[in-house]
A and B are shown apart, each in its own frame.
Chain A
Amino acid sequence: MANPQKAAVLPGSTKAAPAQTTSMATIAPLAGWLLPGLGHFIQRRYLRGLLLMLSVFIMFFAGLGMQGKVYSFNTGDLLDILGFIGDLGSGLLYFAARIMDWGIGNIHRAVADYGTKYIVVAGLLNFIAAVDAHHIAIGKKP
């Protein structure tokens, strides 16, 4: 049975505006994931984008500098799988690290374990930033 209330709120004239919002709502988080801060840049939030980019880049490269490990795709230990998902959040930085063979890890240095966590957290922070870019695109946040 058709719902008359639903039918009433679906007039053809209101379809153009949501379609525009939807494209940016998809592009912004995707761009933000691929390059940290880009999702904010393309929505003209330059300062926020720059600060987010700096935070994620500094954490990622500081982690590599501390000889942290970059996880590759795996189906083994649960923590390794979660580490891979966290690392993947850095977008192109992650793929660059894999291609360039960065982040081999060094089990002989205590600070290398911090580096591994830095790299994972850089990715997780970038996920949050990408969701924020989505919220800006849909008008939930100024």
Chain B
Amino acid sequence: MAQARVGAGRSGDLIAKRDGWPFPRAPTLPYGTKEMERAVTVEHLRKTYRDIVAVDDVTLGIDTNEIYGIIGPNGSGKTTTVEILQGLRQPDAGAISVLGLDPWTQGEELRRRIGSQLQESALPDRIKVWEALDLFATAAGSHRRDWREAARQGGIYDRRNAAFANLSGGQRQRLFIALALVTDPVLVFLDEMTTGLDPAARRVAWDLIRAVREQGATILLVTHFMDEVEHLCDRVSVFQQGRIVVTDSPSGLVRKHSGGRTVRFSTIERDLGWLSRVPDVESFEMEGDHVVVRGTNAVLAHVGAALVGHGITPPDLRVDMPTLEDVYMGILKDNGA
């Protein structure tokens, strides 16, 4: 569904060059009403802690109503970048605009309009769920929603009278999401939102994020999980050692970085030299009865047709497609950690 909303423009080739400003033209709004504006623009952002470079020349742009992912190993600069975008840290260099505001000098105004779920943050142990929601709604000023509504949306309403210390990990995350939504935000930052959630709870959180986007918000999602990117994000930037090594749609990443496919089957037939002449096949090898064919694109279809043509019908013919996870690990490896 997310892909349907995205439209053709989003699948553009957005491999970020390190000095790659300006970006490809912003995609058009799904409803075709007006040109989409960018919710976030970052140019040549740099941040160092003493002599450690945390973020090194990061340039990115997030479209309004987009779900934008940031993924990367620990210490790759994801959280620092997101904290700078919220005005919680001062950048050393770079031009940043978030909702048209400068996060560092206009931070308080900005933070009333965004929703934020921070990594490694907490609430006082004895604060009750409803008190926290009510308080955060008050902080949002005129942008606030009724806390009950946000609590129901976050699935934490039933625990509204529980103290923070007595919530389970999953309930805490749900509360943080509800707190991010109680401000009726136009832009939501979610930093490792589903870490510590069980698989079912993660799905619930994903549905919630989609629902928030449907209401018109833009979402920046920092994550360790490629499946999260695959299910939610329109585009994703892979961070490594403080730099963006690639930015693309999840499907574009797989298409461009997946390398080949591997077709496997078993046969007692030994004379398979003709395989190398089948279209899209690059190489093959035999290990006893087991045959491994490497190739590209439609290699599975071509190999299947050729096998049938030669009277061979292996019951275990299958193809290994690289997952987004494989692609991600491959990108990290190629860029040399």
Indicate whether A and B interact. no
Binding site for A on B (CB under 8 A): none
Binding site for B on A (CB under 8 A): none
